[in-house]
């Protein structure tokens, strides 16, 4: 019997690579890909194959020049990624899929509560004339960059920001919230850990988002070992979800903007799987 579950298995088994988009996933994002510009030579590349190439790099963590030859050329895939970063196509796709995931879960498209956290990641050896600086996180003893993420109560990524690892959480959190101005007007509550307590972060939030109320979730002093903290496990789970993409295992990118693009691509990949496989 040809059931929906059998069809999903068929779609996945007939892909060249596990990272390729299924027909259902492609149908969700195809309308959001901007058409080719007027004038000049008509577009000759298959845009779906371009996205498959980007997802291959994201999932496997391979070098750009190690893309399989049955995918579009490396320069073509990389140029389209830069184009969609600059014209905010990735951001528009991410926000549209995010709202669809919220509706599918029975929530309103605009969240009212969020959780903030950071993740320090080691940087690899890099070369080139244009490289964004890295920093040293003395607390975690990591030299590299720090990813700041903001998630809702479902664990879906709202916004991200990448900066040197030597920037304190309270300062990096303020940089992240500064990118939210006017985007999610329904946000009223922010959950954070002890790294964000103090007057500096509180004052920055009051200036940027005065309607946002901060709640610091602290670890009990008398507890030892692992403790499951309320609300905090949600953002930690999201970091685990995003960590399935090997491109995020380390900081491979020369530019923080590219690192942020791959962070959002990992979130797009996660939401596509949720929308096409709701069970």
pLDDT under 70: residue ranges of the chain: 1-14, 220-228, 278-279
DSSP per position, 176-245: HHHTTTTT-TT--EEEE-GGG-SHHHHHHHHHH-TTPEEEE-PPPTT--S----TTHHHHHHHHHHHTTS
Alpha-carbon gap, residue 250 to 165, rounded angstroms:
13
Long-range pairs of 203-211 with CB within 8 A, sequence gap ≥ 24: 204/170, 204/173, 204/174, 204/177, 205/174, 205/177, 208/174, 208/177, 208/178, 208/180, 208/181, 209/177, 209/180, 209/181, 211/187
Beta partners for residue 150, in sequence order: 116, 159
Taken as a whole, the chain contains a residue count of: 279
Helix (H) or strand (E) holding 42: none
Q: What pLDDT, on a 0 to 100 scale, did the predictor assign at position 162?
A: 97
Q: What pLDDT, on a 0 to 100 scale, did the predictor assign at position 9?
A: 47
Q: What pLDDT, on a 0 to 100 scale, did the predictor assign at position 2?
A: 39
Return the CATH architecture of domain 110-252.
Answer: 2-Layer Sandwich (3.30)
Predicted confidence (pLDDT) per residue in 87-99, tens digit: 999 999 999 999 9
Torsion of CA 167, 173, 176, 182, to 10 degrees: -150
Q: What 3-state DSSP class applies to 114?
A: strand
Q: What pLDDT, on a 0 to 100 scale, did the predictor assign at position 259?
A: 96
Predicted confidence (pLDDT) per residue in 92-121, tens digit: 999 999 999 999 999 999 999 999 999 999
Q: What pLDDT, on a 0 to 100 scale, did the predictor assign at position 223?
A: 64
Alpha carbon 102 to its chain centroid, in Å, reads 16
The candidate with the shortest Cα–Cα distance to 76, out of 58, 93, 51, 59, is 51
Task: Give me Rg for the CA atoms of the chain.
Answer: 20
- Kindly report the number of other CB atoms within 10 A of residue 109's CB atom: 14
Q: In sequence order, which ranges of 87-190 are alpha helices (DSSP H)? A: 89-104, 169-178
Tokens of 239: 């970091």
DSSP per position, 248-263: GSSB--SSHHHHHHHH
**Whole-structure pTM over 0.75, yes or no?**
yes
Domain boundaries, the chain: 4-86, 110-252
């Amino acid at each position: 019997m040809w059931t929906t579950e059998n069809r999903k298995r068929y779609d996945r088994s007939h892909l060249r690579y596990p990272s390729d988009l299924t027909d259902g996933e492609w149908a969700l994002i195809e309308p959001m890909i901007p058409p080719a510009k007027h004038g000049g030579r008509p577009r000759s590349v298959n845009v779906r194959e371009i996205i498959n190439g980007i997802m291959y790099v994201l999932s496997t963590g391979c070098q750009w020049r190690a893309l399989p030859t049955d995918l579009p050329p490396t320069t073509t895939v990389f140029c389209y990624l830069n184009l969609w970063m600059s014209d905010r196509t990735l951001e528009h796709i991410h926000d549209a899929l995010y709202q669809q995931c919220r509706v599918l879960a029975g929530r309103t498209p605009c969240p009212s509560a969020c959780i903030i956290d950071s993740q320090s990641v080691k940087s690899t050896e890099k070369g080139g004339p244009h490289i964004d600086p890295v920093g040293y996180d003395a607390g975690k003893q990591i030299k590299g960059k720090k990813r700041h993420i903001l998630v809702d109560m479902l664990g879906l990524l709202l916004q991200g920001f990448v900066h040197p690892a030597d920037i304190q959480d309270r300062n990096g959190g303020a940089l992240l919230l500064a990118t939210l101005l006017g985007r999610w007007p329904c946000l009223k509550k922010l959950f954070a850990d002890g790294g964000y307590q103090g007057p500096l972060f509180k004052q920055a939030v009051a200036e940027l988002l005065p309607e946002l109320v901060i709640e610091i979730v602290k670890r009990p002093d008398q507890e030892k070992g692992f403790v499951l903290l309320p609300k905090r496990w949600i953002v930690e789970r999201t970091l685990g979800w995003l960590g399935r993409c090997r491109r995020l295992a380390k900081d491979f990118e020369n530019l923080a903007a590219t690192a942020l693009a791959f962070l959002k691509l990992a979130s797009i990949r996660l939401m596509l799987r949720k929308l096409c496989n709701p069970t």
